[in-house]
Amino acid sequence: NLQSTKTLTNGIEMPRLGLGVYKMTEREETLQAIDKALKVGYRAIDTASLYGNEVEVGEAIRYSGVAREDIFVTTKVWNSDHGYDATLRAFEVSLKKLNLDYLDLYLTHWAVPETFEETYRAIQRLYDEKLIRATGVSNHHEHHLEKLLAKANIAPMVNQVEVHPYLQQDGLKAFCREHKIAVTAWSPLGRGGVLNDPAILEIAQEVGKTAAQVVLRWHLQNDTIIIPKSVTPSRIEENAQIFDFELTPVQMEKLHALNRNQRFGQDPDNFKFDF
Ligand code: NAD
């Protein structure tokens, strides 16, 4: 069902579906999108300090009437704030903007080569201080995770990376499974870029669902957490109606065959850290 969760290593339940709010910069639009999502049953919001909408995310949560403890809130520390002290400061700013007492998950946004280990060390401290309920990172390859795992007192519980049918990340997903790191797919719909794929459209016809629903269901059946973004009320609802059908092993295999290691976003190893 819509409240389906993934249990993280520390026992915290993270909703398998959340609303991504990247590029929601218009105040009314953001408030209305989150309001709609919470009304149709979403219980997680994925934001970042970079997105510039933490104030609106906090407001939308408070005015929704849904209890704070029933909503899983994630935000991220932007690249220019990486390092131990800067991360602690950035967290305080985010918390203040969101106007919340704690966050459910705080992530390193990208693995800044010189500082990602220190950034994660600060995230561990926030966890120890009970300011966040789970630790995690984003855009970390295996080689980044290996470095963190070698030193961490608390292994990252989540890695949020680009995953969709054209970039399936089998190797990284296997590594994360082995180390009990939950995987969240960003751009789970490939920013909409996979939705006209003939194979996906064919499966959509077979199951009587939309291409977006098929792709999101495929993620769920792969044990991947998803945070699709939309500001369109009908699509926000559509993207949540994915718990009432199942793809067959043959359909799953057809989707698996679509991988072409194609990124719509940047490769964490080639990210332009221009600050
Ligand atoms: P997405 O794959 O969620 O695609 C969103 C786009 O797909 C929408 O703008 C819309 O054009 C289209 N769409 C959505 N639902 C649809 C539907 N039902 N039918 C047809 N088209 C539909 O891409 P995204 O916004 O890049 O990623 C989702 C979220 O992931 C972001 O909002 C953000 O929270 C997160 N994210 C994180 C990082 C990171 O570096 N950690 C990077 C990118 C995105």
Q: Could you read off the pLDDT of 170-188 as tens digits, one per residue?
A: 999 999 999 999 999 999 9
What is the distance between the alpha carbons of residues 244 and 1, in angstroms, rounded to a whole number? 7
Ligand 1 site-directed mutation target among 21, 22, 57, most atoms within 8 Å of CB = 22
Residue pair 253/209 in contact by the 8 Å Cβ criterion = no
In the chain, domain spans? 5-193+222-244
What is the distance between the alpha carbons of residues 251 and 270, in angstroms, rounded to a whole number? 34
Ligand 1 pocket at CB < 6 A: 20-22, 46, 109, 138-139, 160, 186-192, 195, 212, 227-230, 235, 238-239, 265
Q: How far is the CA of 85 from the centre of ligand 1 (A)?
A: 31
Report the percentage of the chain scoring pLDDT > 70. Answer: 99
Which residues on adjacent β-strands are paired with residue 135?
106
What is the distance between the alpha carbons of residues 247 and 261, in angstroms, rounded to a whole number? 23
Q: What is the pLDDT of residues 64-77, one digit of tens each?
A: 999 999 999 999 99
Question: pLDDT at position 272, please?
Answer: 81
Q: How far is the CA of 125 from the centre of ligand 1 (A)?
A: 30
Question: pLDDT at position 275, please?
Answer: 54
Architecture per CATH, domain 5-193+222-244, reads as Alpha-Beta Barrel (3.20)
Question: What does the DSSP 8-state code read for residue 165?
Answer: T
3-state SS, residue 108: strand
Active-site residue 106, yes or no?
A: no
Ligand 1 site-directed mutation target among 108, 110, 191, 238, most atoms within 8 Å of CB = 191
What is the distance between the alpha carbons of residues 265 and 263, in angstroms, rounded to a whole number? 5
Q: What is the pLDDT of residues 8-23, one digit of tens each?
A: 999 999 999 999 999 9
Please state the ipTM of this predicted complex.
0.99
Question: pLDDT at position 271, please?
Answer: 86
From the alpha carbon of 192, which atom of ligand 1 is closest?
7
What tokens appear for 38 in the block? 């919470």
Runs of H (alpha helix) within 65-197: 84-98, 116-128, 142-151, 170-178
Kind of pairing between the strands at 5-7 and 13-15 = antiparallel
Question: pLDDT at position 121, please?
Answer: 98
Residue pair 165/188 in contact by the 8 Å Cβ criterion = no
Q: How far is the CA of 5 from the centre of ligand 1 (A)?
A: 20
As a dihedral over the C-alpha atoms of residue 248, residue 188, residue 1, residue 222, rounded to 10 degrees, the angle is 40
As a dihedral over the C-alpha atoms of residue 130, residue 135, residue 137, residue 143, rounded to 10 degrees, the angle is 130
Q: Which of 22, 42, 51, 120 is catalytic?
A: 51
Q: How far is the CA of 207 from the centre of ligand 1 (A)?
A: 23
What is the distance between the alpha carbons of residues 180 and 92, in angstroms, rounded to a whole number? 28
CA dihedral over 168, 263, 138, 200, signed as positive or negative:
negative
What tokens appear for 24 in the block? 């929601």
What tokens appear for 193 in the block? 């870029």
Q: How far is the CA of 151 from the centre of ligand 1 (A)?
A: 33
**Each residue's pLDDT expressed in tens, for the chain with a length of 275 residues:** 888 999 999 999 999 999 999 999 999 999 999 999 999 999 999 999 999 999 999 999 999 999 999 999 999 999 999 999 999 999 999 999 999 999 999 999 999 999 999 999 999 999 999 999 999 999 999 999 999 999 999 999 999 999 999 999 999 999 999 999 999 999 999 999 999 999 999 999 999 999 999 999 999 999 999 999 999 999 999 999 999 999 999 999 999 999 999 999 999 998 887 65
Question: pLDDT at position 115, please?
Answer: 95
Contacts of 194 (CB under 8 A, 6+ apart): 164, 165, 166, 200, 211, 215, 258
Question: pLDDT at position 256, please?
Answer: 98
Which residues on adjacent β-strands are paired with residue 107?
76, 136
Q: Whose CA is nearest to atom 44 of ligand 1?
A: 186
From the alpha carbon of 107, which atom of ligand 1 is closest?
41
Question: pLDDT at position 273, please?
Answer: 76
